[in-house]
């Protein structure tokens, strides 16, 4: 099983809403990632969790709040987003932070209105 | 800053021909490289990887070549099929901010397979 599952697939939210994106993997991977991808652009790293601890925060605004409740789950809590935050949010996992392949989920298409 | 870039943003090939997608990287500390395929509306799909102690690696219909001297990476797809039409990203992993390792993506190449 090399699957990373993200929910929901699509999300429309207002600028005053609070919502959460969820990511799950059962490959026993200990590194998990959040990426943001705008149309026709490459994915941009937001956060890295290693062994359930935040190891990288790429200067992401505080309106994005990651959480890693256990080794299989990764959440991204959203609050007071702006329309320019509309994008495809991708979750990925890898065995660890070393030289191992990273597997991506299908993403959550987020639209902020 | 360090970056991973691609020579061509678009590539069109005839079905059955071979495709070559190129990528230049600038971080000399990069020691692990991955090629991803991304179809419209989907997440990136792992194709093949290569470590810096190798210069060639082959998979099913795909070959990755690494030239560390000129910091160049290429993906060769044999007998290109319509299902190969997608955006292809190279990505590199290297040390950033001390021991933290990040996977950084290049700008992508849109491959279109013509009938």
Distance CA B33, CA A61 (A): 29
Which residue, A23, A41, A37, is CA-closest to A103?
A23
Q: What is the DSSP letter of A84?
A: G
Residue B27 has pLDDT above 60, yes or no: yes
Residue B54 has pLDDT above 50, yes or no: yes
Low pLDDT (below 50) residues in chain A: none
What does the pLDDT read at residue A19?
97
Residue B99 has pLDDT above 70, yes or no: no
If you average pLDDT over residues B42-65, what whole number do you get? 96
Q: Does the CB of A67 have a partner CB in chain B at under 8 Å? A: no
Distance CA B9, CA B5 (A): 10
Average pLDDT taken over every residue of chain A = 94
Chain B partners of A48 at a C-beta cutoff of 8 Å?
A: 100, 102
Q: Do A101 and B46 touch (CB under 8 A)?
A: yes
If you average pLDDT over residues B106-111, what whole number do you get? 92
């Amino acid at each position: 099983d090399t699957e990373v599952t993200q929910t929901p697939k699509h999300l429309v939210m207002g600028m005053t809403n609070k919502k959460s994106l969820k990511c799950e993997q059962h490959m026993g991977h200990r590194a998990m990632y959040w990426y943001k991808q705008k149309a026709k652009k490459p994915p941009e790293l937001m956060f890295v969790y290693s062994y359930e601890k935040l190891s990288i925060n790429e200067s992401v605004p505080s309106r994005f709040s990651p959480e890693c409740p256990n080794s299989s789950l990764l959440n991204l809590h959203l609050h007071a987003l702006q329309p320019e935050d509309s994008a495809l949010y991708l979750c990925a996992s890898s065995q660890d932070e070393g030289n191992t392949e990273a597997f991506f989920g299908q993403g959550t298409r987020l639209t902020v209105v | 800053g360090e970056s991973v870039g691609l020579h061509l943003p678009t590539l069109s090939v005839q079905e059955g021909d071979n495709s070559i997608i190129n990528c230049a990287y600038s971080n000399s500390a990069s020691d692990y490289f991955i090629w991803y395929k991304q179809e419209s509306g989907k997440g990136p799909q792992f194709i093949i990887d290569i470590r810096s102690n190798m210069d060639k690696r082959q998979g099913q219909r795909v070959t990755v070549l690494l030239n560390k001297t000129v910091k160049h990476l290429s993906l060769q797809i044999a007998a290109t099929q319509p299902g190969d039409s997608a955006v292809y990203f190279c990505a590199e992993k290297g040390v950033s901010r001390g021991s933290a390792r990040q996977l950084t993506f290049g700008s992508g190449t849109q491959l279109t397979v013509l009938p």
